[in-house]
Amino acid sequence: MFGMGFMEIFLVLIVGIIALGPEKLPSALVDIAKFFKKFKSGIDEAKATIDSELKISEMKQQAEEFKASVGDVTNLAKIDLESINSDKLIDDTEDKKPVVKKEKKTKKAKISLSSEEV
């Protein structure tokens, strides 16, 4: 108990009997036992609170990791979508080559009516 051996406990009891007397010692021991019981329950509550806080912080950390992984997937999807769209634009521009209308130059016969030919 608290790292004390039998001789240390016996010495504390002897000092308690001398200091408090045989009449008050039993009630003092009961009060000390109640104090240790309340102290132990307070320590247990503190441990439970700390454990729940650690679980909450652990859940927050997992949520942040999940959020980051979703963000990564979203970014990859955006990049893939952009590359697909850019590939589609390139394919569309290759398929739809600009059509250049070639004008046919027609030679118009110059007909001149001269008085000689008539």
DSSP 8-state secondary structure symbol assigned to residue 97: P
- How confident is residue 118, by pLDDT bands cut at 50, 70 and 90? very low
Compute the average pLDDT of residues 31-36. 91
Helix (H) or strand (E) holding 80: helix 6-95
Q: What is the pLDDT of residues 38-65, one digit of tens each?
A: 999 999 999 988 888 888 878 888 888 8
The torsion angles phi and psi of 54, rounded to 5 degrees, stand at -65, -40
Contact criterion met (CB below 8 Å) for 50 and 58:
no
| Whole-number Å distance between alpha carbons of 13 and 20 | 10
